[in-house]
Chains A and B, each alone.
Chain A
Amino acid sequence: MSNNQIDPTKWVDQYSDYLFNFTIARVNDREVAQDLISETFLAGLKSMKNFKGEATERTWLISILKRKIIDHYRKSNSKKGKAEVHINYKDDESEGDWLEERVADPFDKTAEDSIQNEELGEAIYNCLDKLPQKQAKIFRMKTIDNFDTEAICNEFDITPSNFWVIIHRARTAMAGCMEKTWI
């Protein structure tokens, strides 16, 4: 048997950031992303007994989330076409020329850098997941949530020099991990 266990009480803390970045790169809307994630968690709960433990919890949740994202687009697609503007040029050649098609493409950015940017958050949380848990937690608090050094030292009961060693290890690991694909 596999040793992949499922524990829904830890889902929010462990995966919500990664899932959120994953979703937002694909739907581009905070609120929709929120909804999709909570739906994913709830769907996960309902089908917990189907979790065979062949994949990790995270992979399993992502596969549910992907379904949810597809569903979201299906839904919004079925509403499409109801509010489009059609200009009649009375000329056979431009028949079917829709107003949307006449909007200029943004010329100042290339597809590549927007893809890179959209998926940056996903890459960062992916790398963060690979760090040891304590390191990741401290690095997160310091770098993303902007806690004071002193507050973190108190909470984890470590000395400042201890703290900086942990930060150093985390940064080195993060940079190494990001370097492969991103920086």
Chain B
Amino acid sequence: MGLFKIDCSNGKMLCDKNQYKETTFLEKVKLNLYLIVCSECRSYTSNNNKLTKALKSKKVHNVSASEKEFLKQKLQEQLNAQK
């Protein structure tokens, strides 16, 4: 069982990795086994899932890099004009 033994901070880190789907198969098994015994990690996981879901929601808008570039240009022009 030594192979599957992890501690809480380790479990949380695996949970974070799992949010980005960057865990290996072995790590997933470890995480899920650990979740059975650690209630703190379970609640962390559930919050983490909610956070990921919220961040992926269509209602979260972000300004794209090109739009930002455009805004910056406009600002710079205005700044130069004021000097």
Contacts and interface: CB of A to CB of B under 8 A. Distances in A.
A6 to B, nearest CB: 12
Given A11-B75, A13-B68, A120 B57 contact: yes
Interface in B48-75: 48, 50-52, 54-55, 57, 59-63, 67-68, 71-72, 74-75
Contacts of A13: 68
A62 to B, nearest CB: 16
Contacts of B17: 164
B10 to A, nearest CB: 10
Contacts of B63: 16-17, 20
B16 to A, nearest CB: 5
Interface residues of B, number: 30
Given A21-B61, A117-B57, A144-B55, A38 B22 contact: no
B61 A30 contact: yes
Given A20-B63, A24-B61, A38 B48 contact: no
B68 A175 contact: no
Contacts of A142: 20
A179 B44 CA distance: 12
A121 B51 contact: no
Contact of A124 (B50, B60, B75, B76): B60
A37 B71 contact: yes
Contact of B59 (A12, A42, A121): A121
B57 A42 contact: no
Nearest to A174: B51
Given A20-B63, A121-B61, A41 B51 contact: no
Interface of B: 12-13, 16-17, 19-20, 22, 47-48, 50-52, 54-55, 57, 59-63, 67-68, 71-72, 74-76, 78-79, 82
24 contacts: A11-B75, A12-B68, A12-B75, A13-B68, A16-B63, A16-B68, A20-B63, A34-B67, A38-B71, A41-B75, A42-B74, A45-B79, A121-B59, A124-B60, A143-B20, A144-B55, A149-B20, A164-B13, A168-B13, A171-B16, A171-B19, A171-B48, A175-B47, A179-B47
Interface of A: 8-9, 11-13, 16-17, 20-21, 24, 30, 33-34, 37-38, 41-42, 45-46, 117-118, 120-121, 124, 142-145, 149, 164-165, 167-168, 171, 174-175, 178-179, 182-183
